[in-house]
Chain A
């Protein structure tokens, strides 16, 4: 539904402007972007497990993990990756079929590598969620951060509009952030809007993001656990 509305919007924009291209890309490219962007955006977004982690900390259910030989991070990472894997498997048919039907450009040989890259990004995504959820040790209504974070990601990931439509230097700056690997880079790579080198640079940026967020998450979590009272924050 959202993909359909978005595709129609791009068509209307191009028709209204009296052009066949926008930012160097034609209507088929925007159709493919809308179809893949919404699908991949759902795969790389995380609010459900983030909310569950927060709930666990707020209610004291985290106790059941803290006293067992498994880390809270690992426990939820395994569930998150498993869940996203299932979502991906069960719903990838939609963009594949619709792109084939409408003749939207897709480089099929790039699909496996793009999916691998997505799973790599999910590690970063979980680290961000884990950090946000750890705020529940300090604040009662940490859920507000999830909404702010997801709103920001909607823009910075390229789900709202392709990041190459932003003016310079904003465009280069946003694309260099790890969030671009959530939607813009994988979608761009698979529909031919982004080349391999740019996509690979995105993964490098995700790697740096993982390293930075690991330190931040570790700090917030360990300080939180230190002041935790075992009954919920």
Chain B
């Protein structure tokens, strides 16, 4: 099986500056700044075969989105190596961008003032797709998501769930080989979550793209992912099957990962304590 994503010691630091409050300190900050470095992603080595669906799970600020942004070419890594479909993502070569798609659940990527259908026409133009074929594709996708009646309404007038469905259609229009989904069900009601889950399940079954999916909802992961990556404080702490981890968590940590209010950082912490002991917390567990 082809390896489509390969990273070796990939990491990303963010440099931020800290200043005390008040106008005088703001002025001083122009001349004398105290910088600090935050390690958003610690050295990560990963290999993803084609067609695999990976669930990337972790608490807020764990490094999930940073990893997705590096893999999709949105941001530069601070070090290590990364190859996606044989390309260096940050070079953002057109050939590479035509084969991937990233959906950031908390950021709209379609044009707010346009009806979704117009945004899709524009995307078809950008990706060099035949408009007739693209139109039939977005209509099919909209039917499967149950939002065909909203295609000609300005995006800003749609509900969050409807907007997310349109974003999903927009990200699939060019049939990407790799799809990065960052919390696609965040903030949605249970019904919309289920619709999107079912849709993605069927899409994966029919098209077999490689997907890296991040979510706070274990249901998203368990219904779609072949493989689970657990990330905590920038470090990959588990790489194995979903069933393996949920079974382990239930049996050894007394945590039901099906619940919506699971504190993943706490689960990871307890998992590490149990499995590795705090002294060896830097190693990745593979099952």
Contacts and interface: CB of A to CB of B under 8 A. Distances in A.
B127 A69 contact: yes
A66 B94 contact: no
Contact of B100 (A61, A67, A226, A230): A67
B73 A67 contact: yes
Given A67-B97, A67-B101, A68-B97, A229 B75 contact: yes
Contacts of A70: 126
A69 B14 contact: no
A60 interface: yes
B10 interface: no
A225 B69 CA distance: 13
A66 B123 CA distance: 13
A112 B109 CA distance: 39
Nearest to A60: B107
Contacts of B92: 66-67
B215 interface: no
B104 interface: yes
A230 B69 contact: yes
B98 interface: yes
B172 interface: no
Contact of B76 (A63, A64, A67, A226): A226
Interface in B117-162: 123, 126-128
Interface string B97-117: 110111010011110000000
B3 interface: no
Given A230-B69, A230-B74, A63 B109 contact: yes
A228 interface: yes
B72 interface: yes
B94 A69 contact: yes
B94 to A, nearest CB: 4
Contacts of B94: 69
- How many interface residues does chain A have, given as a range? 10 to 19
A143 B128 CA distance: 34
B251 to A, nearest CB: 38
A67 B127 CA distance: 11
Contacts of A230: 65, 69, 74-75
A68 B126 contact: yes
Interface in A30-80: 60-61, 63-64, 66-70
Given A229-B14, A230-B69, A66 B74 contact: yes
Nearest to A226: B76
Interface string B38-75: 00000000000000000000000000010001001111
A67 B14 contact: no
A63 B73 contact: no
Given A67-B97, A69-B94, A228 B107 contact: no
Interface in A200-229: 225-226, 228-229
A73 to B, nearest CB: 13
29 contacts: A60-B107, A61-B107, A63-B74, A63-B104, A63-B109, A64-B107, A64-B108, A64-B109, A64-B110, A66-B73, A66-B74, A67-B72, A67-B73, A67-B92, A67-B100, A67-B102, A67-B109, A68-B127, A69-B98, A70-B126, A225-B76, A226-B76, A228-B75, A229-B14, A229-B75, A230-B65, A230-B69, A230-B74, A230-B75
Closest A-B pairs by Cβ, 9 of them: A64-B109, A69-B94, A69-B97, A230-B69, A230-B74, A230-B75, A70-B126, A67-B102, A69-B98
